[in-house]
A and B are shown apart, each in its own frame.
Chain A
């Protein structure tokens, strides 16, 4: 009975939104699912939204930095967004630094950061990229 964290694709970016208490098992499953999806979709960016996480302990901290390293090897950049203040304060006192994983305040800023990192050739929002791929010959963009 393990829950799996859903992975959404927006253009060339994969978004993972963690909104519940993660068990260690689910955490490991996420790592595997994510690396598979990155390869499958040739994603160039990963945004992990942890605004739903009330705590980040050493296990989850390691997961985040592992995902970042792993994605990097697969040529994708990772940004962790939405860390709660109480979590940030706790991690600081724990002395955990998330191993240099990039962070941003929220998903929007996360996308901005990915753009700045030149992850995308012609990046608007991820939606633009998806739409562009769906434009048919007559120039109509399906909604």
Chain B
């Protein structure tokens, strides 16, 4: 549809044939979703979309980016999100729009064949809207996965209290940028909530470190320092040390130790604490 006038003509056709088109549309969708949605549910969800489309077209919307289609787009996005959460496939979800297109074309070719030419533009718009449902679906699935990943992350990167005022973060597994940032924020928050001024970040369990991760670790230590806490990074294995040097990363005056034990020793010293052997009484 190149023009607003065509859009309005199509709107008129759609409105006139509304009953037939909607009936066909809803029946097809119910059939294709294999009875997982009842007729009534489908009607409740989809009928308003038809009206939103007709009204936007009546207002002259000739392109999918037209503001008048915002309402329909929002409905589609919500529809897709709920489908995604309920475990429908992406095809079943986009189906709704593609079936509408089919219903429109079949009805118009039967009832008003002369309008078929104009329907071509509408068909394109409906395809675009079908893709909107795909995107919304994909985004919802992604966020479900991200939420699960975050929960997994929190479980796998606990910040533990080693002593009064000293916490440790034993990192295990591959570190990526996202995960390191989560750890960073979690550590800093824990420093505040436990009133700890010392932290040991142990990367013994981390097989490899790249520039981004090293940068995040450095930023964590700098941020902690800004807050008034000191960190020691421990568990730097020879391979990682080599990588760090090769990458040209400067740790500057940030303390790094090969083992957690060494880091603990340094931290206790900084915290003004010492561990002494006590003579056992028999």
Contacts and interface: CB of A to CB of B under 8 A. Distances in A.
Interface of A: 79-81, 83-86, 88-89, 91-93, 97-98, 102-106, 108-109
Interface SS of B by simple majority? helix
A89 B223 contact: yes
Given A92-B226, A103-B226, A109-B228, A85 B197 contact: no
Contacts of B184: 89
Nearest to A116: B272
Of the candidates B192, B224, B228, the one having the most CB atoms from chain A within 10 angstroms of its own CB is B228
Contacts of A80: 228
B185 interface: yes
B185 A85 contact: yes
Contacts of B229: 105
Nearest to B197: A105
A98 B226 contact: yes
Given A98-B226, A103-B227, A105-B227, A89 B185 contact: yes
Given A93-B219, A105-B191, A105-B192, A88 B197 contact: no
A115 B25 CA distance: 78
Interface string B5-44: 0000000000000000000000000000000000000000
A46 to B, nearest CB: 15
Contacts of A106: 195
B228 A85 contact: no
Nearest to A95: B222
A102 B197 CA distance: 13
B228 A89 contact: no
A89 to B, nearest CB: 5
Contacts of A88: 188, 223-224, 226-227
Contact of B228 (A86, A93, A97, A103): A103
Contact of A104 (B185, B197, B219, B223): B197
Of the candidates B189, B192, B224, the one having the most CB atoms from chain A within 10 angstroms of its own CB is B192
Interface of B: 184-185, 188-189, 191-192, 195-197, 219, 222-229
B182 to A, nearest CB: 12
Contacts of B228: 79-81, 83, 102-105, 109
29 contacts: A80-B228, A81-B228, A83-B227, A85-B185, A85-B189, A85-B192, A85-B223, A86-B185, A88-B188, A88-B226, A88-B227, A89-B184, A89-B185, A89-B188, A89-B219, A89-B223, A91-B223, A92-B226, A98-B226, A103-B225, A103-B228, A104-B197, A105-B191, A105-B195, A105-B196, A105-B227, A105-B228, A106-B195, A109-B197
Contacts of A98: 226
A106 to B, nearest CB: 6
Given A103-B227, A104-B228, A105-B227, A85 B188 contact: yes
Contacts of B196: 105
A90 to B, nearest CB: 9
Contacts of B185: 85-86, 89
Given A85-B189, A92-B223, 15 more contacts: A80-B228, A81-B228, A84-B192, A88-B227, A89-B223, A91-B223, A93-B219, A97-B226, A104-B197, A104-B228, A105-B195, A105-B228, A106-B195, A109-B195, A109-B197
B227 A92 contact: no
A16 to B, nearest CB: 16
